[in-house]
């Protein structure tokens, strides 16, 4: 399993299940990536990673590749 830390722009996000998001990112190192952000959308709480994963935000992410 490869772990990569990168800076990326959020292009798009789609709800996946009860608490996850499928997110499209664009990074200089890897280009366009589609990733799953598990637990980013907590079911009962208003806080979480969903606000950080708004489109056009620049984020620093750790991505695990299988």
Mean pLDDT, residues 48-53 taken together: 80
Overall number of domains in the chain: 1
Work out the pLDDT band at 54, boundaries 50, 70, 90. Answer: very high
Retrieve residue 49's tokens: 């990673």
- CATH assignment of the domain containing 34: 2.40.50.140
The boundaries of the domain holding residue 25 are: 2-65
Distance between CA 26 and CA 55 in Å, rounded? 11
pLDDT per position as a tens digit, 11-47:
999 999 988 999 999 999 999 999 999 988 876 666 6
- Backbone angles phi and psi of 49, in degrees to 5: -85, -10
């Amino acid at each position: 399993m490869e772990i990569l830390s990168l800076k990326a722009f959020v292009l798009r996000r789609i709800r996946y299940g009860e608490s996850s998001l499928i997110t499209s990112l664009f990074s200089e190192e890897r280009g366009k990536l589609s990733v799953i952000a598990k637990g980013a959308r907590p079911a009962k709480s208003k806080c979480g990673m969903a606000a950080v994963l708004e489109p056009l935000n620049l984020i620093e992410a750790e991505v695990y590749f299988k």
